[in-house]
Amino acid sequence: MYHSCVIKYASRHCGQASAILSQHKLGHPLDTPGLQTLVYKEGSAVKGVCIFGVADGYVYRLAVGKAYQRQGVGRALLHRAMFVLHDDYGVEEMSLNYQTDEARGYYANLGWVVDEASSCCRLKLT
């Protein structure tokens, strides 16, 4: 599946990325200093977006279009973000806050350490 997809920085795909964020009722500026936005694109379809802080490794948004969920899009975006943060910025840990039990299970299955008291997940990159 991954051989035909491209994960790019968002500058050329802001309109489509904004549409996915809107679909999830998530507002977030795509060109905020200190944040990177990755876009998962396959063919002409933008399937998902990941916005993360390069200084702190915090994932501000992970959104996948409803038609593309459960296809590995979110996992691929997080995997790419891991490499960008570790290799390009020297970040040693990623973190995020989850909002649903389904999301908690999703991140736990990907190997993130879940702190249920704070609704936070952490992943060591070293």
| Closest C-alpha among 45, 22, 48 to residue 37 | 48
- Show me where the domains of the chain are located: 2-91
Exposed (0-12), middle (13-18) or buried (19+): which is 51, by Cβ within 10 Å? buried
CATH 3.40.630.30 holds for 2-91: yes
- Give me the pLDDT at residue 12, please: 46
Q: How far apart are CA 40 and CA 7, in angstroms?
A: 5
Using DSSP's 3-state secondary structure scheme, residue 48 falls into strand
| pLDDT tens, N- to C-terminus, the chain (126 residues) | 333 345 555 444 445 555 544 444 444 455 567 888 898 988 888 899 999 999 999 999 999 999 999 999 999 999 999 999 999 999 999 999 999 999 999 999 999 999 999 999 999 998
